[in-house]
Amino acid sequence: MDRLQKAVDFYIRYQTTLGFSIVSLVTAASERIFSSMVFKCPCNSENLVYGYSFLLAPAFVLLLLGYMMNTRTWRLFTGMCSLEKYPQYCSWRTWAHVCQLLVPMTAKASVAPLTWIAVALLGANFYECAASGSNMTAHLFCKNNTNYSQEQLYKMPCDEELSAAMSSVCLSFHAQSQLIGWFLIASIMTVALISTCVTHCFSPVSYLQFKFWKIYSRKEHKLFEIKAKEHASKLAERNTNCFFEATDPAPFRTPSNKDWQKVSVSYTFNSQEQYYSMLHKYVNTDRGNDAEFKEEGRDLNVFEFVDEAQAS
């Protein structure tokens, strides 16, 4: 039982890292299966388009899925074009806030597509097919070498004997693809490390408060879901009973539309206050009626780390 509790605690503590790792492993495995079972280079003038389509199109689809699976995407855009909110969202400050939120959302959504591209480049199948159909490649290898022709380059990915005869070209394609793949991986890790260090350096809270904030955020999210299910079940039960029993409904208190809107917006941390979420701020500002509730936050970056476990 103790081991199970330790395993649960380890998962809770590193759930974001474990989540990204699982996504990367599943994407890498999918790319290998996709490359071996689905991909068939046409070995003609369509090699370039076909190869890059398999390299980039699945990555684009994975990027869109990353946005769709991120709850913060829907939290940010739900009701954004409502006529009631239109004047509110016309300000440059609001759009600057939206753009600032889109940066970490894009970073999280890019994990799977970048993994796909990196693994595909290390495998070199897609790149070899695309490079064999490139006019630039033909100009490079065929201009001063009468042994190679454009048609031979087209057929090289499909013909093992021709590929062995043109081993120098084949090895060049593999080397180029793998070099680009390793450069991409190194660039991603470098940018991720630098951005994380910079964000933590400019954090408006200390390490222990930051740790407390993450614990509070997880607990509030979990309790909110439990309470929402209980509240929705009671309301549904009351309405169903009234329908079948033909009785008048008893009074039932539930948040108003304005209250839901107040707690649904993304929270921005203000170092002069000590609120850890919009719900926390709403409760301590007379249900969002104080002028303090309407003040814009000042520090957004720290919230991205606190909220990442429940928004990814």
DSSP 129-163: HHHHT-HHHHHHHHSS-TT--HHHHHHTTT-HHHH
Task: Collapse the DSSP code of 269 into the 3-class scheme (helix H, G, I; strand E, B; otherwise coil) and give the result.
Answer: strand
Mean pLDDT calculated for residue range 202-230: 89
- Residues 223, 142, single domain; the answer is no
Instruction: Check pLDDT > 50 for residue 150.
Output: yes
- Residues 106, 254, single domain; the answer is no
Instruction: Give the C-alpha separation, 25 to 6, whole Å.
Output: 24
- Residues 250, 171, single domain; the answer is no
- Whole-model pTM: value is 0.78
Domain count within the chain: 2
Query: Lowest-pLDDT range, 12-26, 245-259, 266-280, 297-311?
Result: 297-311
With CA atoms as reference, report the closest residue to 305 among 260, 265, 267.
267
Most confident of 147-151, 174-178, 296-300: 174-178
**pLDDT greater at residue 188 or residue 17:** 188
Instruction: Check pLDDT > 70 for residue 294.
Output: no
pLDDT of residue 104: 82
| pLDDT tens track for 157-167 | 787 776 666 67
Q: Is residue 302 part of a domain?
A: no
- Residues 130, 235, single domain; the answer is no
**pLDDT greater at residue 4 or residue 168:** 168
Mean pLDDT of the chain: 79
Q: CB-based burial of residue 59 (10 Å sphere; 0-12 exposed, 13-18 middle, 19+ buried)? A: buried
With CA atoms as reference, report the closest residue to 217 among 15, 68, 22, 69.
15
- Domain hosting 168: range is 1-78+85-202
| pLDDT tens track for 177-212 | 999 999 999 999 999 899 888 888 888 888 888 889
- Residues 118, 33, single domain; the answer is yes
Last residue of a domain, one of 202, 227, 253: 202
- Residues 69, 186, single domain; the answer is yes
Mean pLDDT calculated for residue range 123-148: 72
Mean pLDDT calculated for residue range 96-124: 86
Last residue of a domain, one of 202, 225, 253: 202
Percent of the chain at pLDDT > 90 equals 23
- Residues 60, 97, single domain; the answer is yes
pLDDT of residue 119: 92
With CA atoms as reference, report the closest residue to 200 among 295, 299, 309, 98.
299
Instruction: Check pLDDT > 80 for residue 40.
Output: yes
Q: Is residue 282 part of a domain?
A: yes
Q: CB of 120 within 8 A of CB of 27?
A: no
Mean pLDDT calculated for residue range 265-284: 81
The pLDDT-based confidence of 139 (bands split at 50, 70, 90) is low
